[in-house]
Amino acid sequence: MSKPTINRLTSADPDFLPSLDKLIAWDMVSNSEVESAVAEILTQVRARGDAALIEYSNRFDRRDCQSISEFCLSSEQLQEALASIDSVTRDALETAAARIRDYHSHQLQESWQYHEADGTVLGQQVTPLESVGIYVPGGKASYPSSVLMNCIPARVAGVSEVIMMVPAPDNELSPIVLAAAAIAGVDKVFTIGGAQAIAALAYGTETVPKVDKIVGPGNIYVATAKRKVFGSVGLDMVAGPSEILVVCDGQTDPDWIAMDLFSQAEHDEDAQSILIAWDADYLDAVQQSIEKLLPEMERRDIITQSLANRGALIEVADAGEAVTICNRIAPEHLELSVADPESWLPNIKHAGAIFMGRHTAEALGDYCAGPNHVLPTSATSRFSSPLGVYDFQKRSSLIFCSEQGASDLGRIASVLGRGESLTAHARSAEYRIKK
């Protein structure tokens, strides 16, 4: 095996910031061929409904289904899948689900009101979405954690119906994914994937109900379809490749840090794994650990390519400079592998999830710690947040005006309405002014 490579940067280099910005840049736009193909799929599903779903699923997933009913899984089939998995796996899924449910229960927003002296009442009413669609990658791939992380917050929020789309190429389905659906409380499962699944959820067909929001990861066709249907339906986010940024004070076992970098690099060749430290000797030690441990990894080819493409070991002057660079990168996952991670929090402005302390591996957050693993990527943590219960709730403003309140506010609204030359607004308010 050739020697693994990873970019090595130092903040003292005059070209450091341009080099860093180039490394972390990610263009999330699709290509024209994908755009065209997805647009046609969306048009056909919208126009032809179930017939288009059958046609595209047979073509792209190499299936031979004649009826849409062949793509529908019953609750009994989900329960059979749950019963078929081994007890250790079932216990792990149920424990993870319980922790995710407990964490997200703390996020519930509540309705509120307050009363003014004249009897006017103002407030906010919080209501759940009525229906949500979850997309889960399928086939031989097994992502039960995606089922738990996307479905459970919706259930905690009070969503009435949760529909899951999971492709079954060559009729392959993962029992553990279906078991997770049973545990999480999915209502309906359709074995449909790709852009056609997104179209069905966004527009509805004779069999697939139209939903209010679509969540969950997918390939470039799924991501492109999600972007195109936004507006007809709500979205969680259109995510880019997975990222981890580790900041270390040089006191953590280098093997631990190397494996933490691998944990994101193994996702795909475009994933990003970066380590920041202010000790050059420690960065050397981590590089040695990378070279030592990489041959053991099942996905070593992907890891090697990922580290060469977008990985980096970055030497900085001190902890303060490390914070500055963290905020510039705005990572999806930030590991603070330092002695007093809590003292760093006031200065960390942008991160999807922050893993505090040497023992807190990012992988724990991926599966079972409790917080959601659906996180903003590609520096979008500057303005976005992890998926949560609040993504499945809506807020409506409440306004009740007493007779006196309407009269007092009417005078203000009249002035402002006439100032904007909207006389109907003004007169509507004026009718309610007490004479």
Domain end marker among 212, 235, 258: 235
User: Which token pair is 210?
Assistant: 């139209």
333 counts as catalytic: yes
137 and 50 part of one domain: yes
Closest CA to 356 of 375, 338, 373: 338
pLDDT in tens, 62-92: 999 999 999 999 999 999 999 999 999 999 9
HEC secondary structure over 293-317:
HHHHCCCHHHHHHHHHHHCEEEECC
Same domain as 80, residue 20: no
* Domain assignment of residue 383, yes or no: no
Residues 38 and 143 in one domain: yes
Q: Tell me whether residue 185 is in a domain.
A: yes
Whether 402 and 118 have beta carbons less than 8 Å apart is answered as yes
191 is a domain residue: yes
pLDDT of 240 over the 90 cut: no
Please give the Cα distance from 46 to 203 (Å, whole number). Answer: 6
* Alpha carbons 375 and 381: distance in angstroms, whole number: 8
Are 197 and 289 within one domain?
A: no
Express each pLDDT in 313-348 by its tens digit: 999 999 999 999 999 999 999 999 999 999 999 999
| DSSP one-letter code for 1 | -
pLDDT at 27 > cutoff 80: no
Last residue of a domain, one of 206, 235, 264: 235
Strands (E), 230-287: 234-235, 243-248, 272-277
Mean of per-residue pLDDT scores for the chain: 95
Determine the structural domain holding residue 80 and report its residue range: 32-235
CATH of the domain at 195: 3.40.50.1980
- What is the CB-side half-sphere exposure of residue 197 using CA atoms within 13 A? 33
In a domain, 394, yes or no: no
pLDDT of residue 435: 83
Q: From the CA atom positions of the chain, what is the Rg in Å?
A: 26
- CB within 8 A of 300, min separation 6: which ones? 1, 294
According to DSSP, the residues that pair with 277 across neighbouring strands are 315
Task: Examine the residue annotation and report whether 362 is marked as an active-site residue of this protein.
Answer: no
Alpha-carbon distance of 183 to 97, in angstroms, equals 7
Q: What is the DSSP letter of 230?
A: B
Q: Give tens-digit pLDDT for 265-307.
A: 999 899 999 999 999 999 999 999 999 999 999 999 999 999 9
Residue 172: C-alpha distances to residues 50, 80, 169, 334 (Å): 21, 16, 6, 35
Same-domain check for residues 229 and 97: yes
How many domains does the structure of the chain reveal?
Answer: 3
Same domain, 317 and 214: no
Per-residue b or e along 308-320, where b marks 16 or more CB atoms closer than 10 Å to that residue's CB = ebbbbbbbbeebe
State the pTM of this model: 0.93
Residues 199, 49: Cα–Cα separation, whole Å: 9
C-alpha 167/C-alpha 196 separation (Å) is 10
Domain boundary among 326, 352, 369: 369
- So what's the pLDDT on residue 239? 84
Which of these is catalytic: 266, 267, 315, 333?
333
Check pLDDT > 90 for residue 398.
Answer: yes
pLDDT of the residue at 330 = 97
CA distance 359 to 342: 14
Does pLDDT of 258 surpass 50? Answer: yes
Contact 180, 210 (CB under 8 A): no
pLDDT at 140 exceeding the cut of 80: no
Same domain, 287 and 272: yes
Q: Rounded CA gap, 22 and 16, in Å?
A: 10
190 and 309 share one domain: no
Q: Are residues 272 and 245 in the same domain?
A: yes
pLDDT of residue 20: 97
Give pLDDT tens digits for 206-239.
999 999 999 998 888 999 999 999 999 999 988 8
- Contact between residue 338 and residue 248 where contact means Cβ atoms under 8 Å apart: yes
Q: Which residue has the higher pLDDT, 435 or 47?
A: 47
Question: Percentage of the chain surpassing pLDDT 70?
Answer: 98
Measure the CA–CA gap between 332 and 240, rounded to whole angstroms. Answer: 10
The DSSP symbol for 29 reads: P
| Residue 153, domain member (yes or no) | yes
Same domain, 271 and 195: no
Hey, is 10 helix, strand or coil?
Answer: strand
The residue annotated as part of the active site, out of 332, 335, 350, 362, is: 332
How many beta carbons lie within 10 A of that of residue 33, not counting itself? 8
> Considering the domain boundaries, does residue 381 fall inside one?
no
In a domain, 375, yes or no: no
Residue 385 lies in a domain: no
Examine the domain organization and report whether 302 and 355 are in the same domain.
yes
Neighbour-count burial of 207, counting CB atoms closer than 10 A to its CB (0-12 exposed, 13-18 middle, 19+ buried):
middle
Residues 197 and 78 in one domain: yes
Whole-number pLDDT of residue 243: 96
Compute the distance between CA of residue 355 and CA of residue 362 in angstroms, rounded to an integer.
6
Helix (H, G, I), strand (E, B) or coil at 229: helix
What span, in angstroms and rounded, lies between the C-alpha atoms of 337 and 357? Answer: 5
**In one letter, which amino acid is 150?**
N
